[in-house]
Amino acid sequence: MVWTSRVYFRKYGNFVDNIRLYVRGGSGGMGLPRLGGHGGNGGDIWMVARKGTTLKQIKDKHPNKRFTAGVGSNSSIHALRGNKGEDTQVFAPVGISVTTDDGRIIGELNSEGDRLLVAKGGHGGTLHSGFLPSKGQTRQIRLDLKLIADFGLVGFPNAGKSSLLTALSHAKPRIASFPFTTLRPEIGKVMYDDHKQVSLADLPGLIEGAHVNKGMGHKFLKHVERTKQLMFVVDICGFQLASNTPFRSAFETVLLLTKELELYKDELLSKPAILVINKMDLPEAPGHLRELEAYLENQEESSRLFPEDVIPKSLMCFTHIIPVSATAGLGLPLLKSLIRQSLEEEDIIETEGQRSERLLKLRREISTSSIPSWKFSQPT
Ligand SMILES: Nc1nc2c(ncn2[C@@H]2O[C@H](COP(=O)(O)OP(=O)(O)OP(=O)(O)O)[C@@H](O)[C@H]2O)c(=O)[nH]1
Ligand SMILES: [Mg+2]
């Protein structure tokens, strides 16, 4: 076996599902009083939906999260009507809502190519304004991925995702012993005694090659992006799509699901994920579970025992691993409490992240404002 890449664990908890940006339209250009010339308007800022873009890419590419547009040209003897300043386009993922900092909705980007004006350029100077230009619109905006549910059920076909949703919530998705029973997401709510609710999205099954759109992979993987956390569901007895495709053990299905997500968008691996090992009521399950546990104990080493086409570059770091039986009810009360625990853990990570970001910003502000602007007189 040839080993070319080292497998590593992806840190979870840093998936970006919202981001705040500072946007400023360009100022207008000066008018020309002597000849009645109009200054050009300032450029506008547009959010433009583009497939494949993620909020994390915006954050990484523009760490200061500021966007400004071009200034309008002044009116001159050569060009009495000044040119408009250049517009700025910010590419954003499809499926986001854009709000002002105080929560007012500016609009949504729902399909490829949708455009939204988020900061208007200022007017150029005209007779009306005494030939003086106005400044561009300035505001803080917030982009939020429109999530469909707290958890998305990710698994090969027939793993028992719909059965699990049925057992945990009041939803009634179709269940059948053949693959691809579920073709569109169905949302169920898990209810807790204190009336707290957590939503689970039952998603269609993924197969090997989903990232290159096999088995409508792209359509299905798209939904995985729209959930806060993931729940991998694997059949303890493994999976085989057809007699002419390879049989995959439960551990291989964990690796393959990871690989499909990674090849589609590797950022998805940074979502927190619970691993649910299903069908534990089957007689052969305990033996398979022992084997799977041994592999999971050292995922990195174990993954090297498998053919290269099965191994992802990085591994999922599961927040919890739990064996259950969706049909016999085994392990479900514990799973229910782990679902909630995992969300609460993420909230803590998120608030800590926000706190340190605020602290960093404050430190930057203090360090620039505390530099004294006066000069010390030199002792003579
Ligand atoms: N023995 C056993 N069978 C189960 C269990 N959970 C699900 N099944 C069976 O597995 C088959 C597939 O179940 P589904 O819930 O439809 O599986 P799915 O993952 O939603 O499948 P797709 O929608 O095709 O991706 C059905 O025949 C279920 O009755 C379980 O815990 N134990
Ligand atoms: Mg299903």
Q: What is the full per-residue pLDDT of the chain (380 aa) written as tens digits?
A: 333 345 666 666 667 888 999 999 999 999 999 999 999 999 999 999 998 898 999 999 999 999 999 999 999 999 999 999 999 999 999 989 999 988 889 999 999 999 999 999 999 999 999 999 999 999 999 998 888 899 999 999 999 999 999 999 998 998 988 888 888 888 999 999 999 999 999 988 888 888 888 878 887 888 888 899 999 999 999 999 888 889 999 999 999 999 999 998 888 898 999 999 999 999 999 999 999 999 999 888 888 888 888 899 999 989 999 999 999 999 999 999 999 999 998 877 777 777 777 777 777 766 655 544 444 444 44
The CATH code of the domain at 18-145 is 2.70.210.12
- CA-to-CA distance for 190 and 192, rounded, in angstroms? 7
**Ligand 1 mean position to 158 CA, how many Å?**
5
- CA-to-CA distance for 307 and 4, rounded, in angstroms? 12
Of the candidates 151, 189, 160, 190, the residue with the CA atom closest to the CA atom of residue 281? 160
Long-range (24+ apart) CB contacts under 8 A made by 358-363 are none
DSSP-assigned letter for residue 213: T
pLDDT of residue 139: 95
- CA-to-CA distance for 353 and 14, rounded, in angstroms? 9
The pairing of strands 186-191 and 197-202 is: antiparallel
pLDDT of residue 299: 87
> Is 179 a pocket residue for ligand 1 (Cβ < 6 Å)?
yes
> Is 180 a pocket residue for ligand 1 (Cβ < 6 Å)?
yes
> Is 181 a pocket residue for ligand 1 (Cβ < 6 Å)?
yes
C-alpha angle 205-198-104 in degrees, rounded to nearest 5: 105
> Is 185 a pocket residue for ligand 1 (Cβ < 6 Å)?
no
Which pair of structure tokens corresponds to residue 108?
């949504």
Domain boundaries, the chain: 18-145, 149-344
Q: Which ligand is nearest to the CA of 179?
A: 1
Looking at residue 200, its amino acid is L
**Ligand 1 mean position to 173 CA, how many Å?**
11
Q: Does domain 149-344 have CATH number 3.40.190.10?
A: no
Which atom from ligand 1 is nearest to the alpha carbon of 179?
24
- CA-to-CA distance for 163 and 175, rounded, in angstroms? 6
Which pair of structure tokens corresponds to residue 155?
């698994």
> Is 177 a pocket residue for ligand 1 (Cβ < 6 Å)?
yes
**Residue to probe by mutation, ligand 1, list 169, 175, 281, most atoms within 8 Å of CB:** 175
pLDDT 10s digits, 108-136:
999 999 999 999 999 999 999 999 999 99
- CA-to-CA distance for 229 and 12, rounded, in angstroms? 10
Q: Whose CA is nearest to atom 30 of ligand 1?
A: 279
Q: Whose CA is nearest to atom 26 of ligand 1?
A: 177
Q: Which ligand is nearest to the CA of 327?
A: 1
Q: Mapping DSSP to helix (H, G, I), strand (E, B) and coil, where does residue 186 land?
A: strand
